[in-house]
Amino acid sequence: MLRRKVRDQVEVYDVINYRLQRRLSVPDIRGFIDMISCEHYRCVYVGGVKSIHRLDVQGASTQWAVNDQPRCLSVNAAHNVLVICRDVRKIKEFSSKGYLLRELTLPDDIVNPSHAIQTRNCEFIVCHGVLDHDAVHRVCKISADGRHIIKSHGGQRGSDIGQYNAPRHMAVDNNEFVFVADEINQRVTLLSPRLDYMRQIVSRDDLKWEPNSLCLDIHRRRLYVTDNGHTAGRVVVFSV
């Protein structure tokens, strides 16, 4: 968990009793966008204003430029970092050392994408639609080349089943079921691997504010949800 203090820091907690273990500084972050861990390389990646910072378990930090405004991050099966760049509607794939491997431009009707996760067969799950004037708020399955929408869930912004109001962040389990943080509706929705609606995992009754991001512990079947307001926030843990 990253807290904004005099110096931005990652706080490391024990997953059993949630006790603070230590703090790791992230130098020159200049604003925090998202954070994702990589079990393979035993590090975390932190998205800044226009850069990605890699922080290993000993606290050593490196960074590289994205050259666009990064939004949410994910790590794919090849242990590379996927960065969604909302304004230019692109997915950028970087190696763990920060080398740009490729850029994919999303279809024209993917407006204001927030998060992208790559599946085992190299397709992408992308959520998009953030602002009130965005006509469509949904979750889409995109072809491996980034050019075509294969399947989608959602549409016009709303609060009914099958609708979203700012789908902000996602998590995908080993069977490719998709958890979606529906920010303004204050809920987390579960979708099947085909993006069919399954059920609501977290409701507004479980939260104080809005769910901004998700982290799924696949081994312990725990879903960590950041529940943030304007001046306060917390992490809520659910068994799934």
Closest CA relative to residue 37, chosen from 55, 24, 50, 52: 55
Distances (CA, A) of 65 to 15, 84, 240: 32, 14, 36
Is the model's pLDDT at 40 over the cut of 50? yes
Domain boundary residue, one of 105, 133, 155: 105
Domain boundary residue, one of 105, 128, 152: 105
Identify the domain containing residue 199 by its residue range. Answer: 108-240
207 and 229 co-located in one domain: yes
Q: What is the pLDDT of residues 81-114, one digit of tens each?
A: 999 999 999 999 999 999 999 999 999 999 999 9
- CATH number of the structural domain spanning residue 175: 2.120.10.30
Q: What is the pLDDT of residues 152-180, one digit of tens each?
A: 999 999 999 999 999 999 999 999 999 99
Q: Provide the domain count of the chain.
A: 2
Output the pTM of the full model.
Answer: 0.91
Q: What is the DSSP letter of 178?
A: E
E strands within 107-221?
A: 113-118, 124-128, 136-142, 149-156, 167-172, 178-182, 187-191, 197-202, 210-217
